[in-house]
Amino acid sequence: MKKSLLTLLTIILVLGSVGTAAEAAAVKSVAVTVNGKAVVFPDGKPVMEDDRVLIPVRFVSEALGAKVDYKNKTVLISQDGRKISMKVNSAIVTRDQDKLLLDVPARVQKNRVYVPLRFVSEALGAQVDWSKAKMLVAITTGAAPTDPKEPEEKPEQPKAFFKPFAWEEKTELGKALFKNNVKYANGQVTFTVPYASNATYQGNQKVTKLTPGQSYTFPGGTGSISFSKIYASEDRIENYSLYLDTKHDSLAKQFDSVTNDIVVKHSFVKNGQAVGTAGTLTEVILLAQSL
């Protein structure tokens, strides 16, 4: 079963390889440290494109104590008993039984596999701080102290804002979530995890797997909840992310003014391109009534 799911996930959201045009884009020098120690990049260096930092996954992962292998265009990482895999040209990361969707897919550049910096925090569980003034990425593990003196901004804030929330062809999970299920009231979000779906809560630098069929309540203001449903026969994944903090870094400041609500982000592939759409939960619930 695990093999079949991994095979499925490696062919979902496959996008065209980034060619020489992307490599010719303006590249700025970015330094990376892990627990205060500089990471050495003997060939491929970290790059910054459109306010997004991309890193060679091997060197940073190994600096965090992980073992990295590369087979059949798939990055395989072992860390603290966890198994992580990511196919080149796919935005899906498989960590044990969890599926994580990144903003951009992994890609090969200068004979190295590059991933967005978010991979470090979401897949490897480390804390990432970014100093634009210093062009420095500071990565720390749970055991390492962080420097509270200088407020840091995250590099994962794309300039382009999200398109208005929209459905894709597959809406089974959307119906189960947003028609008479997810509710936000009195500063709390409540929901029951739909059956035949995967769900995780990410908050306080921890990722917690949620149980299908079980009801949950989380306070608003911090963390995010991800839901996904696999359509094995059609090589598809339907996914939604609920951001309990409307000022979450991943929302690119688009919803900073929203109050008394949470944000729903839905990403999918259309015409070979990744599409990111988002809206408030109130809007999404209204849209779901027509499904």
Do 129 and 196 have their domain in common? no
**Chosen domain end from 140, 173, 188:** 140
Do 126 and 6 have their domain in common? yes
Which backbone phi and psi does 220 adopt, to 5 degrees?
Answer: -75, 170
Do 108 and 190 have their domain in common? no
User: How remote is the C-alpha of 206 from its chain's centroid?
Assistant: 14
Specify if 53 maps to a domain.
yes
Q: How confident is the model at residue 141 (pLDDT cuts 50, 70, 90)?
A: confident
What integer is the mean pLDDT of 225-234?
Answer: 87
Do 172 and 211 have their domain in common? yes
Residue span of the structural domain in which 86 resides: 2-10+29-140
Do 192 and 73 have their domain in common? no
C-alpha–C-alpha distance, residues 244 and 47, integer Å = 30
Do 217 and 110 have their domain in common? no
- 139 or 19, which is more confident: 139
What integer is the mean pLDDT of 37-52?
Answer: 79
Asked if the model's pLDDT at residue 284 lies above 90, the reply is yes
E strand or H helix that includes residue 129: strand 127-131
pLDDT at residue 146, rounded to an integer: 44
Do 244 and 171 have their domain in common? yes
Q: How many domains does the chain have?
A: 2
C-alpha–C-alpha distance, residues 10 and 90, integer Å = 7
Do 52 and 182 have their domain in common? no
Specify if 209 maps to a domain.
yes
Asked if the model's pLDDT at residue 48 lies above 60, the reply is yes
pLDDT at residue 180, rounded to an integer: 93
Q: What is the CATH number of the domain that holds 121?
A: 3.30.457.10
Do 173 and 50 have their domain in common? no
- 218 or 84, which is more confident: 218
Do 209 and 282 have their domain in common? yes
Burial 226-255 (b: 16+ CB within 10 A, else e): bbbbbeeeeebbbbbbbbbbbebbbbbebb
Q: How confident is the model at residue 181 (pLDDT cuts 50, 70, 90)?
A: very high
Do 171 and 284 have their domain in common? yes
Asked if the model's pLDDT at residue 22 lies above 60, the reply is no
Structure tokens at 41: 């990049």
C-alpha–C-alpha distance, residues 57 and 207, integer Å = 21
Structure tokens at 162: 């999200």
Burial zone of 224 (CB within 10 Å; 0-12 exposed, 13-18 middle, 19+ buried):
buried
